Structure 1
Amino acid sequence: MERARLCQLCLLGSALLLLGTPEPVPELRASREDTELAGLLQELLDEPGPRELPALEKRLSWVPWCARWESCAVRRGARIGKRCSCAPGTSCDLRILKCS
């Protein structure tokens, strides 16, 4: 009884696998519409336009990275304001206000 049930399950599984395999797709050729759309997309990408800031830069807590020996802070009276974060391996020297 169990052996017959096992055979039925195997046959059913094989049939499902055969039904699920995709048919070979004929070679796709680029139609005229596709080439026109590709041309329009290329024109849009080549156009210089207003660059929108990424979402990360829009956050108020985000501070841009500074290069080495670039000014990283500004002294405003007794306070020091941070302009950018120094790159890994460097730190902001508060005497000269540059990454070192």
Structure 2
Amino acid sequence: MDLCRCLLVLSVLTSLCQGQRSADEPGLALTNDQLVETLQDFLNDVDSRVGLSVEKKASVIPRCDVGERCAMKHGPRIGRLCDCLRGAACNTFFLRCY
């Protein structure tokens, strides 16, 4: 959804940059600096929203390849570091994907 918004803003800014509006109309032309600032503000806003949504999803466990370490021992407990790819499982003795 955010990617669609970004592409929409980018296409509007691109059409304005190509000079489709006449220079005789006052107040409709934007300078390149203004366009860059507007696009940077928009992208920063999108990045801040995406960062918050990723931080909220703390239950997402990253994927790990076969042979990589997938767990860590904390005394009698085992903590998961990553989720093994499809067809592999985390060996609780070696603490690696096999």
TM-score by length of 2: 0.48
Greater Rg by CA: 1
- Under a length normalisation based on structure 1, what TM-score does the superposition of the two structures give? 0.48
